[in-house]
Structures are given as structure tokens and as C-alpha cells.
Amino acid sequence: MPAPLLDVQGLETQFKTQEGVVHAVNGVSFTLKEGETLGVVGESGCGKSVTMLSVLRLVAMPPGKIVAGKAFFHGQDLLAMSSEEIRQVRGAQIAMVFQDPMTSLNPVLTIGKQLEEPLALHLGMDKKHAMERSIELLDMVGIPNGKDRLNDYPHQFSGGMRQRVMIAMALSCNPQILIADEPTTALDVTIQAQIMDLVERLRDELGMSIIWITHDLGVVAELAQRVLVMYGGFIIEEAPVKEVFAHPTHPYTLGLLGSLPRLDNKTNERLFSIEGFPPVLYQTPSACPFAPRCKFAVDHCWKENPLLVEVSPEHRVACWVDTQTGRER
């Protein structure tokens, strides 16, 4: 079996606030294979984005701090690299597309200037070749008249076009991994579909691996081969996408799927709502973080936080209760 392209082990990230230390990511471990699309799902504040920002060392320090863990990429630990070494990886080998393109693009620089900068920095291109490559990239992501648009500023593009520019910037140096942090959230449904089709096509053409962060399970079903479900800074379920939809095992995953409208629902059942609120993690939970909202909770859930255990091939879950039978494991 080939070694994973990215291997994250025991990642922990904390933020110091006036109210106390927030334990945002708590011992997260996962792998990413070559050519794979990995979906990361969960509600806002569950640690999805912070996990990936930590891997790329983009967490602001202070207030944030990566307190433990390793992230191996081609045998090198990203978390142990010097600032200069990680700068050579970011953008060139691992690229990230952020949620809001308006705040990610510099409003006072032209699109051409922002596209050409990483090409000069990472690939050493001169002005002429960087401009030619920028026009190619705009054409690749479906922005017409690329040559004429290089001198335009971000405010002259629509939301969907700005996101295409962000994807072009991320792909400029042919990265091996693309991390997409909810890139379609601020866009309307039609543009969302276009961006997803674009990423899927580019993935197949360029052979890169993708980590797609989202709270939308419909997007995961469309794009990903494998999915991580996060809650309270922990991975609570990990499985191939088809397995998660066919046999969801964690009560939180069941709740997420139950909250989705279904076209095959002929019984007119009401959508499921998960009662309660997400945890505020001023301390690392000693019990299951989902226990206060869980209808399957037993005494054991309040005493010890479960580890991820395999329930079927490639399917792991962190839960003391078998949700199929209601019995404790």
C-alpha cells in the first residue's frame, strides 16, 4: 500500500482568550491519498478550518498556538519546518482557497498582479511568462477575455468570478494538494454548481488531491470519496462517502443526515433537528462532547470520551453506543 500524501497525527490547536484557553482542535489524525478528494464536514465552530489552517501554519500566533501533533508531507513534518521552509510549501505544493474571495483578494492590486506574484516567487518566472501563464489560468477556470481582465481590480468581478480567480491563484503552481475552505458558501446555487464542476474537472485533469471543507453533506456526496465528520474539535466518524450515507453510525452524523431534505421522502416526515448548542471548549472534554445533545447517551458517555474504533472496513466511529441496537459497545 503506497504511503499517504499527507499524514496528520495528533494535531492539537488552542486559542488564548480573555475568558480562557479554547481547545479548538483536540488530537486530530487523518491521512490523504494521492488523487483523493477528502470531505470534512461539521457545523460552524467544530474545528474544520482551524485543523487545515494549522497544517499550513496559517493560524495567527498569538492568540492561537499549535501545542501538539505532526503533519507529514513527503516525509517532512510541516509543523517542524522553519518559516522559510513552510513558505516554500504553501502555494507551491499545498494551496488553499478561502471562503470569502472578497476578503482574500487584495482590493488595491489588480488581478494580474496577484496572479503573477506566486509565479515569480515559487517558479521564478519573469514578467512576460508570468503574464502568459496568468492568461492561461484565467482561461482554465472559465474567465473569458483573460488578457483584458488582468488589469481589473477585484471589485470589478462578480462573487463567482472572484472565486474562480482564487482557484486560478491556488492552481498557478500546480500544487499536489488543494484545500478548499467552504469556497461556495457565499455564492448562489447556480454558481455553486459551476464552481464544483470546475474543481472536479481540474482535479481529474491535473491529478491533484483535494480537501473540501463544508457543512453541506450534499456537496460531499457530489465531490468526495471519503469523509471526516468533526464535532467539538474531534473527528467522530470517518468512512467512505457511500458508507456514511448508507450506514451512518455516530448520533451526530445521523442528525446531520436527518436534517437534509430528501427527494425520496414519501412519508412527509419533518426534518430532524439536533437539540442544544455546540460545546464551548475551555477545557479538553473528559466526556463525550456530544453527550449533552445525544438521545442515545448512556452513563459511560458522561465519564469517558470514546476513541475512534473500526466498526467495518475503512469505517471508524467514536461512540460508546451502537446506534443500530441502542446497546453499549
Residue 78 CB neighbours (<10 A): 23
> Digits of tens for pLDDT over the chain (329 positions)?
678 899 999 999 999 988 899 999 999 999 999 989 999 998 888 889 999 999 999 998 889 999 999 999 988 999 999 999 998 898 889 988 887 766 778 899 999 999 998 888 888 888 899 999 899 888 888 888 888 899 999 999 888 888 888 888 888 888 899 999 888 776 777 877 887 888 888 888 888 899 999 888 888 888 899 999 999 999 999 999 999 988 999 999 988 887 776 666 555 667 667 788 888 888 878 899 999 999 888 899 999 999 999 988 889 999 998 887 777 77
What is residue 267's predicted lDDT score, i.e. its pLDDT?
57
The pTM assigned to this predicted structure is: 0.89
What is residue 252's predicted lDDT score, i.e. its pLDDT?
92
What is residue 147's predicted lDDT score, i.e. its pLDDT?
87
What is residue 162's predicted lDDT score, i.e. its pLDDT?
87
**DSSP string covering 120-183, please?**
HHHH---HHHHHHHHHHHHHHTT-SSHHHHTT--GGGS-HHHHHHHHHHHHHTT--SEEEEEST
Q: Where are the alpha helices (DSSP H) in 57-109?
A: 83-89, 101-104
Give the residues across from 31 on adjacent strands.
7
Q: How far apart are CA 4 and CA 246, in angstroms?
A: 26
CA distances from 42 to 214, 229, 256, 309 (A): 7, 6, 8, 19
Q: How far does CA 292 lie from the centroid of its chain?
A: 26
Q: Are 61 and 294 in contact (CB under 8 A)?
A: no
Q: Are 178 and 210 in contact (CB under 8 A)?
A: yes
What is residue 190's predicted lDDT score, i.e. its pLDDT?
80
Q: How far apart are CA 130 and CA 3, in angstroms?
A: 34
Q: How far apart are CA 221 and CA 241, in angstroms?
A: 6
User: Max alpha carbon distance in the chain (Å)?
Assistant: 67
User: Cell digits for 67?
Assistant: 501545542
Q: Are 231 and 291 in contact (CB under 8 A)?
A: no
**DSSP string covering 211-239, please?**
EEEES-HHHHHHH-SEEEEEETTEEEEEE
